[in-house]
């Protein structure tokens, strides 16, 4: 088998499973309870928070657990804006954001906020458009670090520099879901105020993520209730998920350089081999992007047919981000844009949409798996 869909999710590493088992057996209490059972859970939760903070180079009290990146992104956009309703009521974001940002921003627009999308065609984020955009008073800038379909890097530190110069009162939020644990992700060095991460892209469990909130940043909550996570995210904390997340994050961050070198090798091997496997292939990813994500258009085939063919061989890739795949029943062979921004916004012609695949590597992906995929693409292409 070759699981090459790690940008969608990753298998949970053994160490995380063990840590979660341990918490479920021995620290299963409610962290808010004022007795020994609760204290044990609280201690486990705070240890996990400290570990994740350390990976990011921030303080533990700047980390707020959420149910995942989606919730962290919703909270970042809505929570930052709702706390600043008296101000400019304007959001600047990129045209390549994940739906959890895009749709949160759209919600704010429905409430009367002004929104501007900065173009990023072929991986060239339009800094000039950003500079013009920031001449108007701005409340929030929300930009991702690694684009989840294409692996392109957005110039977050440069965007922060533009904010500092032109719109110093604007907050910067970064969705670092595909960056954390894989590429260096340092919110303080970058100068962002809010940063989203998730556990399941790096060998942790699904259902947990976190929002970094720079100390002193006023935020409004999206989840009302018992006041957990210092009022920002009510709901009894899933202590075992936090433990699994922390273990996976620590391992990923400790091995980041070695993992990265390995991923660059896999990407190079795949891209090189592709010219032989499918001579008309167009690589949409960039050399300077994340090596964990390779996006390719194969104009002479339908990606779903290729996925079916590969799937029978136990090779798993994706044709579009899993977040929006298969939510509606679409007859085989037809293709519909996932959401209005998708690949078209990135400058990939609409007609290639149905022929575009995403291959995403994990820390344990082997060259043999890459070769299996290449052979599969070649065999499928040769079937005519």
Which residues of the chain form contacts with ligand PMP (CB under 6 A)? 68-70, 73, 98, 100, 144, 148, 175, 177-178, 198, 200, 209, 321, 323
Report the DSSP beta bridge partners of residue 367: none
Using H for helix, E for strand and C for coil, what is the string for 171-207?
EEEEECCCCCCCCCCCHHHHCCCEEEEECCCCCCCCC
DSSP string, 345-361: HTT--GGGGGGEEEEE-
| C-alpha distances in Å from residue 235, one per residue of 22, 65, 180 | 22, 10, 25
* Least gap, CB of 268 to ligand PMP (angstroms): 23
User: Can you say whether the dihedral through the CA atoms of 42, 48, 51, 57 is positive or negative?
Assistant: negative
Nearer Cβ to ligand PMP, position 89 or 338? 338
Calculate the CA 246 to chain-centre distance.
17
Q: Which residues contact 182 (CB under 8 A, 6 or more apart)?
A: 146, 201, 202, 252, 256, 259, 260, 263, 290, 292
* Least gap, CB of 211 to ligand PMP (angstroms): 12
DSSP string, 16-59: HHHHHHHHHHHS-S-TT-SSHHHHHHHHHHHHHHHHHHHHHTS-
* Least gap, CB of 178 to ligand PMP (angstroms): 5
Our answer to whether residue 323 is catalytic in this structure is yes
How many CA atoms does the CB half-sphere of 223 hold within 13 Å?
Answer: 21
Phi-psi sector, 334: left (phi>0), alpha (psi -120 to 50), beta = beta
* Least gap, CB of 10 to ligand PMP (angstroms): 11
DSSP string, 131-185: HHHTTS--SEEEEESB-TTT-PBP-HHHHHHHHHHH-TT-EEEEE-TTTTTTS--
* Least gap, CB of 110 to ligand PMP (angstroms): 21
Assess contact for 177 and 148: CB atoms under 8 A: yes
Nearer Cβ to ligand PMP, position 198 or 278? 198
The angle, 0 to 180 degrees and rounded to 10, between the axes of the packed helices 36-56 and 14-26 is 150
Nearer Cβ to ligand PMP, position 72 or 373? 72
* Least gap, CB of 196 to ligand PMP (angstroms): 7
Report the C-alpha gap between 30 and 32 in whole angstroms: 5
* Least gap, CB of 323 to ligand PMP (angstroms): 5
Residue found by looking up tokens 């609760």 in the block: 38
> Could you say which of 55, 174, 253, 323 is catalytic?
323
Nearer Cβ to ligand PMP, position 242 or 278? 242
| C-alpha distances in Å from residue 152, one per residue of 29, 289, 291 | 42, 5, 9
Nearer Cβ to ligand PMP, position 42 or 200? 200
Please give the positions annotated as active site.
323
């Amino acid at each position: 088998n070759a699981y090459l869909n790690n940008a969608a999710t990753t298998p949970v590493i053994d160490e995380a499973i063990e840590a979660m088992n341990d918490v479920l057996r021995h620290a299963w209490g409610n962290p808010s309870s004022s007795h020994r059972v609760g204290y044990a859970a609280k201690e486990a939760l705070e240890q996990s928070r400290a570990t994740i903070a350390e990976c990011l180079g921030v303080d533990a009290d700047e980390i707020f657990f959420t149910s995942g990146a989606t919730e962290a992104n919703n909270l970042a956009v809505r929570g930052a804006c709702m706390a600043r309703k008296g101000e400019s009521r304007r959001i600047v974001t990129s045209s390549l954001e994940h739906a959890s940002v895009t749709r949160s921003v759209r919600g704010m627009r429905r409430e009367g906020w002004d929104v501007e999308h900065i173009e990023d065609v072929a991986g060239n984020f339009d800094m000039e458009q950003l500079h013009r955009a920031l001449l108007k008073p701005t409340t929030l800038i929300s930009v991702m670090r690694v684009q989840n379909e294409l692996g392109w890097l957005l110039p977050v530190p440069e965007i922060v520099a533009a904010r500092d110069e032109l719109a110093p009162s604007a907050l910067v939020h970064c969705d670092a879901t595909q960056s954390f644990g894989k590429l260096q992700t340092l919110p303080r060095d970058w100068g962002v105020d809010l940063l989203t991460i998730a556990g399941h892209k790096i060998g942790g469990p699904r259902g947990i993520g976190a929002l970094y909130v720079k100390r002193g940043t006023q935020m409004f909550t999206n989840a009302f209730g018992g006041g957990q996570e210092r009022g920002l995210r009510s709901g009894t904390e899933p202590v075992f998920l936090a433990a699994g997340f922390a273990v996976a994050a620590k391992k990923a961050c400790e091995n980041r350089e070695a993992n990265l070198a390995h991923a660059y090798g896999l990407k190079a091997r795949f891209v090189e081999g592709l010219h032989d496997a499918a001579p008309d292939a167009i690589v949409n990813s960039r050399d300077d992007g994340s090596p964990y994500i390779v996006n390719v258009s194969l104009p002479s085939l339908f990606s779903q047919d290729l996925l079916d063919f590969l799937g029978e061989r136990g090779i798993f890739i994706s044709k579009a981000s899993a977040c929006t795949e298969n939510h509606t029943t679409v007859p085989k062979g037809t293709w519909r844009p996932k959401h209005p921004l998708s690949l078209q916004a990135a400058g990939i012609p609409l007609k290639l949409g149905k022929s575009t695949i995403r291959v995403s590597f994990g820390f344990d992906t082997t060259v043999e798996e890459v070769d299996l995929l290449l052979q599969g693409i070649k065999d499928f292409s040769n079937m005519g």
